């Protein structure tokens, strides 16, 4: 079975502080992992995916197959990072995305 | 270019009525997906289409839910005899093709409220 767990429903940090949003997954094959973000009153949009190995808006995420994790990190949080973040998994041969419950990130000034 | 378009943006209906939700995917995208976003359930997969075919209907919560896609483009999600537990935001997404690595692009959603 495919499962994505985001243990923190809410996360609040101060501007300039490091931020880490946790994501753990359960899948026996080779997954594709994604982070999607939903800013206030905007649609869900892709932030980054592990295959790209990019840094988007200062965020990075590394797939750790040993720990089955795909945590999202940013060294210095900005107020505009406040949003809902979803970790998602796509399994081999599967066409759907399996989402975690989401983490609401609030950056305090 | 235009993104995924969904209509209506909001729908209020009475329990027992039927509703139709529409999705216009990004032009040229062959794959289309429906998800539901509700309190306590997060984002859950409902159904996907490749062209006009729906190989996986496993996510549809009951036989009151159905979906079709015509001309390889527009899709309609129909909920018959709506119940209060159907209240949610229904999201549509499209991708260039099927496959694990394809990026899904989401619409703004239809917020359904069943009174």
DSSP chain A: --EEE---SEEEEETTS-EEE--EEE-SS--EEEEEEE-TTS--EEEEETTT---BTTBEE--BTTTTB--EEESS--GGG-EEEEEEEE-TT--S-EE---EEEEEE-
Q: Are A45 and A73 in contact (CB under 8 A)?
A: no
Non-local (6+) Cβ contacts of A28 within 8 A are none
Residue B66: is its pLDDT beyond 60?
A: yes
> Residue B13: its pLDDT value, please?
97
Q: Give the nearest chain A residue to B45 (CA atoms).
A: A96
DSSP A96: S
Region B88-107 average pLDDT: 89
Choose among A34, A43, A88: nearest Cβ to B107: A43
Summarised one tens digit per residue, pLDDT across range A25-65 is 999 888 899 999 999 999 999 999 887 778 889 999 988 98
Query: Does A93 have pLDDT greater than 80?
Result: no
Interface residue of B45, B67, B100 to substitute, partner A, most A CBs within 10 Å: B100
Q: Does residue B82 or residue B96 have the better pLDDT?
A: B82
pLDDT at B1: 54
User: With an 8 Å Cβ cutoff, are A44 and B98 in contact?
Assistant: no
Sort out which chain A residues have CB atoms less than 8 A from B105's CB and list them. Answer: 45-46
**Alpha carbon distance A54, A37 (integer Å):** 16
**Confidence grade of residue B2 (pLDDT, cut at 50, 70, 90):** confident
The count of other CB atoms within 10 Å of the CB of residue B80 is 14
Residue with the bigger pLDDT between A78 and A1: it is A78
pLDDT at B33: 95
B64, pLDDT greater than 90? yes
Helix (H, G, I), strand (E, B) or coil at B105: strand
pLDDT grade, residue B56 (50/70/90)? confident
For B10-54, how does the pLDDT look when each residue is reduced to its tens digit (9 = 90+)? 999 999 999 999 999 999 999 999 999 988 778 999 999 998 898
Q: Verify whether the Cβ–Cβ distance B98 to A95 is below 8 Å.
A: yes
Q: Please report, for chain B, how many H helices and E strands are present, in that order.
A: 0, 11
- Window 5-24 of A: residues touching B by CB (8 A cutoff) are none
In whole numbers, what is the pLDDT of chain A averaged over residues?
A: 92
- Nearest residue on chain A to B108, alpha-carbon basis: A43
Q: Which residues pair with A45 in a beta bridge?
A: A37
Count Cα atoms within 13 angstroms, Cβ side, for B10: 1
């Amino acid at each position: 079975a495919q499962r994505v767990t985001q243990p923190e429903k809410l996360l609040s940090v101060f501007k300039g502080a490091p931020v880490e949003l946790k994501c753990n997954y359960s899948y026996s094959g080779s997954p594709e992992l994604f982070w999607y973000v939903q800013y206030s009153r905007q649609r869900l949009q892709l932030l980054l995916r592990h295959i790209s190995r990019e840094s988007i808006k200062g965020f990075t995420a590394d797939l750790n197959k040993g720990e089955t994790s795909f945590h999202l990190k940013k060294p210095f949080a900005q107020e505009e990072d406040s949003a809902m973040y979803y970790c998602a998994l796509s399994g081999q041969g599967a066409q759907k995305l399996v989402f975690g419950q989401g983490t609401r990130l609030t950056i305090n000034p | 270019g235009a993104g995924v378009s969904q209509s209506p943006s909001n729908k209020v209906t009475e329990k027992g009525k039927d509703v139709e939700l529409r999705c216009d995917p990004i032009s040229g995208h062959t794959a289309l997906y429906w998800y539901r976003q509700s309190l306590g359930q997060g984002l859950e997969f409902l159904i996907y289409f490749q062209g006009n075919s729906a190989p996986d209907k496993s996510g549809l919560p009951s036989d009151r839910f159905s979906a079709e896609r015509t001309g390889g483009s527009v899709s309609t999600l129909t909920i018959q005899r709506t119940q209060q537990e159907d209240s949610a935001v229904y999201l549509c997404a499209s991708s260039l093709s099927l496959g694990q690595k394809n990026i899904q692009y989401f619409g703004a959603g239809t917020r359904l409220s069943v009174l």
